[in-house]
Amino acid sequence: MADILAGSKPPRATGDTGSPASPVGDAEEAPDEVEPEAGEESEPTPGRQAAIVPAGGPLAPHDALQRYMAEVARHPLLSREEEDALARRYRADPEHNVDAAYALVTANLRLVVKIAYQYRRAAFNLLDLVQEGNIGLMQAVKKFDPGRGIKLSSYAAWWIRAYILRFIMDNFRLVKLGTTAAQRKLFFNLKKEQERLAAQGIAAGPKLLAERLDVSEEDVVEMQGRLGQEELSLDVPVGEEQKDTHLDRLTAAEAGAEERLGDAELRERFHEKLRVFAEGLQGRERYIYEKRLIAEEPLTLQEIGDKYHLTRERARQLEAELTRRLRDFIAAEMPDFAEVSLSRPPRTRKPIAARTKAKLDK
């Protein structure tokens, strides 16, 4: 196992442990955030008697966890002095002292099982959690600094827990639930905080939960919606005897071909009516219509007033009167124009029809 820190895993944990399944919110003592903490010791997992087998002896025949623990038991625990010496040797030359890292990892495999056992109710195979914890242990050995006076088990405990929690969040549902620090905090603590407030007779609203957990109210509402909904595959048939799937029944986000064709025809008629209306205008009214109402870059009222020696207010009054006449003309010629879809195309300015209709609607 010379490549243990290059991506391979310690003794593989596979098989079925028969651990009970229940919501991940029941995981014991899940921390809000993952950061170093002192005080964890390398102890065997509680609740199960590890099958201690002498070197060269047979492994336990049936239970996968016992077989794994029997393999782990072959590796001796290290004293503080041995651990410090190995860590310093590996840190001095990681490339040529992989055997020192191997000894540090294998001596702390029991700690991984102990931490993984705290999350045995997370509806996952316990040995899957052990495997993820082993990766965290290897990362801890890579980054461990013996000069800080901290035991490797104390430092590695949080790396192990971090990888286990990430595995739970990534695999709890098909759609990931915790992608930010606030969401991860809510994922593990929202249900417990709701139960704590309910036990005190307090209504656990989103605002109160956000204050208690130091997150935004929007994050609380979003996580409540995620946790309260079941996943549904769009490829699953609607009924047992039907071939149609949920995906087949989803409505399109954009308008259908008939609706788009009808809108295009109405817009064409609208432009034709605008041309007819313009033919009846002369002088400054024609200028205001062309340079102000339907122009791509409309002039300001001041610019129009300067051209015809008018005040800005008088130019506004002329524009308002012209807009009223145009509105009445369109209403008489195209009573169904209000049904036209004038959605904005992907360009910097609204189309002329959209801008003109907006003015008519004011």
Q: Do the domain assignments include residue 252?
A: no
Same domain, 160 and 192: no
Q: Do the domain assignments include residue 206?
A: yes
Q: What's the pLDDT at 345?
A: 40
Q: What's the pLDDT at 24?
A: 42
Same domain, 115 and 30: yes
Q: Do the domain assignments include residue 244?
A: no
123: left (phi over 0), alpha (psi -120 to 50) or beta: left
The pLDDT of residue 222 is above 90: no
Same domain, 222 and 277: no
Same domain, 97 and 149: yes
Q: Output phi, psi for 245, to 5 deg.
A: -105, 170
The pLDDT of residue 140 is above 80: yes
Same domain, 45 and 134: yes
Q: Do the domain assignments include residue 80?
A: yes
* CB-based contacts of 317, cutoff 8 Å, min separation 6: none
pLDDT digits (tens, 9 = 90+) for 120-130: 876 678 888 99
- Cα–Cα distance, 180 to 326 (Å, whole number): 54
3-state SS string for the chain = CCCHHHCCCCCCCCCCCCCCECCHHHCCCCCCCCCCCCCCCCCCCCCCCCCCCCCCCCCCCCCHHHHHHHHHCCCCCCCHHHHHHHHHHHHHCCCCCHHHHHHHHHHCHHHHHHHHHCCCCECCCHHHHHHHHHHHHHHHHHHCCHHHCCCHHHHHHHHHHHHHHHHHHHHCCCCCCCCCHHHHHHHHHHHHHHHHHHHCCCCCCHHHHHHHHCCCHHHHHHHHHHHCCCCCCCCCECCCCCCCECHHHCCCCCCCHHHHHHHHHHHHHHHHHHHHHHHCCCHHHHHHHHHHHCCCCCCCHHHHHHHHCCCHHHHHHHHHHHHHHHHHHHHHHCHHHHHCCCCCCCCCCCCHHHHHHHHHHC
Same domain, 20 and 44: yes
CATH code assigned at 92? 1.20.120.1810
- Cα–Cα distance, 92 to 225 (Å, whole number): 50
Domain extent for 194: 174-229
pLDDT digits (tens, 9 = 90+) for 82-131: 999 999 999 999 889 999 999 999 999 999 999 999 888 766 788 889 99
The pLDDT of residue 68 is above 70: yes
Q: Do the domain assignments include residue 238?
A: no
pLDDT tier at 6, thresholds 50, 70, 90:
very low
Q: Which residue has the higher pLDDT, 319 or 45?
A: 319
Q: Domain boundary residue among 137, 157, 172? A: 172
Same domain, 94 and 129: yes
Q: Domain boundary residue among 142, 172, 202? A: 172
Q: Domain boundary residue among 156, 172, 188? A: 172
Indicate the pTM of the whole model: 0.44
Q: Do the domain assignments include residue 250?
A: no
Same domain, 149 and 180: no
Q: How many domains does the chain have?
A: 3
Same domain, 155 and 200: no
pLDDT digits (tens, 9 = 90+) for 178-192: 556 676 677 667 777
Same domain, 100 and 215: no
- Cα–Cα distance, 40 to 204 (Å, whole number): 34
Q: Do the domain assignments include residue 324?
A: yes
Q: Which residue has the tokens 């049904």?
A: 339
Q: Do the domain assignments include residue 235?
A: no
Same domain, 198 and 308: no
The pLDDT of residue 137 is above 90: yes
Same domain, 190 and 287: no
